[in-house]
Amino acid sequence: MNGPHDMGGMQTFGPIRPEKDEPVFHARWEGRIMAIFAALGTWQKWNLDVSRQTRELLPPAQYVSLNYHQLRYAQVVELIAQNGLATRAEIERGRPAKGTTKAVPPLTADKVPSYWTAGSPKSRTVAVEPKFRAGQRVRTRNMNPTTHTRLPRYARGRVGIIEQDHGVFVLPDTNAQRLGENPQHVYSVRFLARELWGEQANPKDTVIISMWDDYLELA
Amino acid sequence: MDVTRRDFLTTAATAASGAAVPAPASPADADHDHQALPSDLTLRVKSLESLLVEKGLVSRPALDALVDIYEHKIGPRNGARVVAKAWSDPEYKRRLLTNSDQAIAELGFVGQQGEHMVVVENTPAVHNMVVCTLCSCYPWPTLGLPPLWYKSAPYRSRAVIDPRGVLREFGVDIPEDVEVRVWDSTAEIRFLVLPERPAGTEGLSEDALAALVTRNSMIGTGKPLAPGLGTKP
């Protein structure tokens, strides 16, 4: 969807403010909410793309004004409530409703090392023919779905060159709607900065964007 | 104030006034800003954690173990090892650029958000820079969790439309005839920049080289440090 998360090309957010000697977390809660988010994911009540879509559907004013960890908290609350892990009333009170039976968490401390090293690969081993090959000219589709997509607005309807085929991956667009993984090839597609931004861009500069088969057509 | 009675949007509005203040430029300002963060997120996350533990949805020791990974096991010193090895060992560099996953796994830096790695090499003709305009994608095992500026709106928005302006804000001036190549991490592939080896580092050990590799040089918003007088061969 065309939401506030799709920020590429906006110009009014002000200067970048790197913080000197930034700690990993500024406060304890930031680390706890990151860990809670990861641990709840192992219930597999949602996938990566459902999770991203949930964050992208937060009210726009909230999305742009919260920092990364504040946004994570808001996202986790929505994921818990929308997927039935706890009710909003329980979250508000911080205590389980009366008569709730206690579950057994899938991720325990002894499983954390293997959870970590295994990662959560989004590549798939199914045999899917690539629609494009390196060197081909492609145009990105001009599409504006009201659901999650990873085709940024600034790169729709633009001509680029297939640089590299990275293999087969889950398609976020269908996965976010729980309509299946729809695995297909992902490519690095090279765009001239001028194709994206016009004459103001340096003629030498390029932007390389990862694109799924469904985002592309031959140009 | 009875924070437990406020709904999240009120919290968000309060947080917003804090978040809208430009992030700190100096440690002194940093202290000030962090005090301005809404303290009720401390309470709310604590309350959420105890709810989830009580419901058996998360295990507290598992959360501790995850936080330990975020704080102690991952970070740019890992990426610096990869870069230093590539600078020292041409055969490793070849593997790193052709099969990044495997070459990085050789050093043990695998895990969440590092499943699909592509290493891109800076050359005299090309300067690479990495962003995630849609969220905050970043190679965790090699670089750790991203700094706040990387996942903040100013960087995410302008890195693609004005990369040279962004680089100048980081003190990096790229000559007009050098291509600036921006990688927008829209899929699950994570990018690591292999910066150019600084001049005057001939004969330095991998350890000494790794000490010159900064986090920003592996994002592409910086250059490696120049070798100090004391470390020159």
Quick check: is A2 in a domain? no
Is B132 known to be catalytic? Answer: yes
B-chain residues near A52 (CB < 8 A): 135
Pair (B86, B29) in one structural domain: no
CATH of the domain at A213: 2.30.30.50
Pair (B179, B220) in one structural domain: yes
Is B185 known to be catalytic? Answer: no
Pair (B92, B179) in one structural domain: yes
- Please determine, for residue B23, whether its predicted confidence score (pLDDT) is greater than 60: no
Nearest to B45 among A33, A65, A201 (CB): A33
Q: Where does chain B show beta strands of DSSP type E?
A: 117-121, 126-131, 179-184, 190-194
Pair (B78, B182) in one structural domain: yes
Shortest Cα–Cα distance, B129 to chain A (Å): 9
CATH of the domain at B214: 3.90.330.10
Pair (B16, B113) in one structural domain: no
Mean pLDDT of chain A: 97
Q: What is the pTM of this model?
A: 0.91
Please check whether residue B36 touches A, CB under 8 A. no
Verify whether the Cβ–Cβ distance A66 to B12 is below 8 Å. yes
The secondary structure of A126-137, three-state, reads CCCCCCCCCCCE
pLDDT in tens, B29-57: 444 344 444 569 999 999 999 999 999 99
Chain A contacts in chain B segment 98-127 (CB below 8 A): 110-116, 118
Count of domains forming chain B = 2
Shortest Cα–Cα distance, B171 to chain A (Å): 12
Quick check: helix, strand or coil at residue A207?
A: strand
Which of B148, B150, B179 is most worth mutating to test chain A (most A CB atoms within 10 A of its CB)? Answer: B148
Of A88, A118, A148, which one is at a domain's C-terminal end? A118
- The pLDDT, as a whole number, for residue B228 is 80
Nearest alpha carbon to residue A150 among A186, A111, A119: A186
Pair (B126, B26) in one structural domain: no
- Residue A44: domain span: 28-118
pLDDT in tens, A5-35: 999 999 999 999 999 999 999 999 999 999 9
Count of domains forming chain A = 2
Pair (B23, B89) in one structural domain: no
Nearest to A67 among B54, B148, B180 (CB): B148
Mean pLDDT of chain B: 87
Quick check: is B30 in a domain? yes
Pair (B81, B51) in one structural domain: no
What residues have CB less than 8 Å from A107, skipping those under 6 apart? A38, A39, A42, A115, B58, B59, B62
Distances (CA, A) of B183 to A208, B45, B186, B191, B196: 5, 34, 9, 8, 17
B-chain residues near A48 (CB < 8 A): 188
Of A55, A84, A118, which one is at a domain's C-terminal end? A118
- Residue B223: domain span: 74-231
Verify whether the Cβ–Cβ distance B57 to A85 is below 8 Å. yes
Quick check: is B63 in a domain? no
Pair (A63, A106) in one structural domain: yes
